[in-house]
Amino acid sequence: MLSMPAPAARGVPKLSIVIPVYNEEGVLPTLFARIYPALDALGVSYEVVFVNDGSKDRSVALLRQQFSARPDHTRVVLFHANFGQHSAVMAGLSYARGDYVVTLDADLQNPPEEISKLVDMLDQGYDYVGTIRQHRQDSWWRRWFSKMLNRLRERITPVHMTDQGCMMRGYARSVVTALNQTREVNTFIPALASLYAMRPIEVPISHEERFAGQSKYSLYSLIRLNFDLITGFSVVPLQLFSMVGMAVATLSALLVVYLFVRRVLVGPEAEGLFTLFGVVFFLIGIALFGIGLLGEYVGRIYAQVRERPRYIVEAVLEADSVRDNPR
Ligand code: UDP
Ligand code: MG
């Protein structure tokens, strides 16, 4: 750690950038080369908080190197294992000291040059700046999947935003404080922040292809993430389920009455066995889905009551003056 930081580092910066990093050795050099000039051009005091989410490649070495190159503007939080993107961002938010905090992905899908748009909005007094990706550069199934989930989320949760997927967002200090006070595990930060915001706004930003490396999200983890978004913000799925249960119970009661009447009028019948199978399998399917859905909520409660730390920090690289000026 360097003991003589540049004078610019003293005091609290106006802007903190939070970037989660997980196995990003392919993009980090280009990210550094683009983000620092973009931030220098803004003409405000800033810090970049990188959170290494247990990378197994050379990301940590590259982050250390960047810290020595720009100790006055760089802080690096090193996790002790992989805790997931949202935990990394939460850690970044709690280490960030700026009046404004902008989160973005390391892979350059969110161009660092767009940060200025978010800062402009925060300067105008908005406390939450959402983003809408223009010409999103992702595979067709990701775009389709997002569109469907956006619609679902819009209908059944109190969270309203045009584009839920993009992590590049700007938060004012008041929203960051509220986020830092939230003890919820498995959350979805942009959605949570939008609930805390008093003056939200959205801006269009450009979107690029992942610069190098691969997406860390498989279809499976995307589904998990979206369960967090839906079950974390709404109990409508459970309520819907009891509605379906009620409808099915009513229909089967009617069926029993009908069969009873036929038994009396027509006499014994043994046909329709496969129809019966069909009905039974359908009901079993619904019951299994219901159990799974209950499990989602129980799982969330379980994760919450265990109260394990959301992440474990192994080390923090920062200039000494930062520690002399805790926020
Ligand atoms: N990331 C992370 N931990 C993880 C997975 C991802 O910190 O377990 C970071 C990753 O390094 C990147 C960001 O989260 O900065 C978004 O990941 P990615 O680009 O793979 O997601 P996508 O853009 O495909 O949704
Ligand atoms: Mg990406």
Dihedral pair phi/psi, residue 20, rounded to 5°: -80, 140
**Ligand 1 within 6 A of CB of 107:** yes
CB 96 within 8 A of CB 172: no
In this structure, which amino acid lies at residue 63? L
**Ligand 1 within 6 A of CB of 88:** yes
Encoded tokens for 45: 């005091």
| Residue appearing with tokens 């043994």 | 270
Distance 211 CA to ligand 2 centre (A): 9
**Ligand 1 within 6 A of CB of 109:** yes
Determine the atom of ligand 1 nearest the C-alpha atom of 84. 8
Nearest residue by C-alpha to atom 16 in ligand 1: 105
Q: Which residues of the chain have pLDDT under 50?
A: 1-9
Determine the Cα–Cα distance for residues 77 and 125; give it in Å rounded to an integer: 29
CB 119 within 8 A of CB 102: yes
- Phi and psi based region of residue 84 (left: phi greater than 0; alpha: psi -120 to 50; beta: remaining): left
Name the pTM for this structure: 0.83
Encoded tokens for 244: 């379906």
Give percent above pLDDT 90 in the chain: 48
Amino acid 76: pLDDT: 97
Determine the Cα–Cα distance for residues 74 and 50; give it in Å rounded to an integer: 8
In this structure, which amino acid lies at residue 51? V
Amino acid 326: pLDDT: 53
Nearest residue by C-alpha to atom 14 in ligand 1: 85
Using CA atoms, how far residue 70 sits from 52, 98, 166, 185, in Å, is 17, 17, 28, 33
Dihedral pair phi/psi, residue 102, rounded to 5°: -115, 125
pLDDT digits (tens, 9 = 90+) for 5-42: 444 445 799 999 999 999 999 999 999 999 999 999 99
pLDDT digits (tens, 9 = 90+) for 102-147: 999 999 999 999 999 999 999 999 999 999 988 888 888 888 988 8
Amino acid 9: pLDDT: 47
**Ligand 1 within 6 A of CB of 47:** no
Determine the Cα–Cα distance for residues 271 and 253; give it in Å rounded to an integer: 20
Q: Output the CA torsion sign for 173, 174, 176, 180.
A: positive
Amino acid 48: pLDDT: 98
Nearest residue by C-alpha to atom 19 in ligand 1: 215
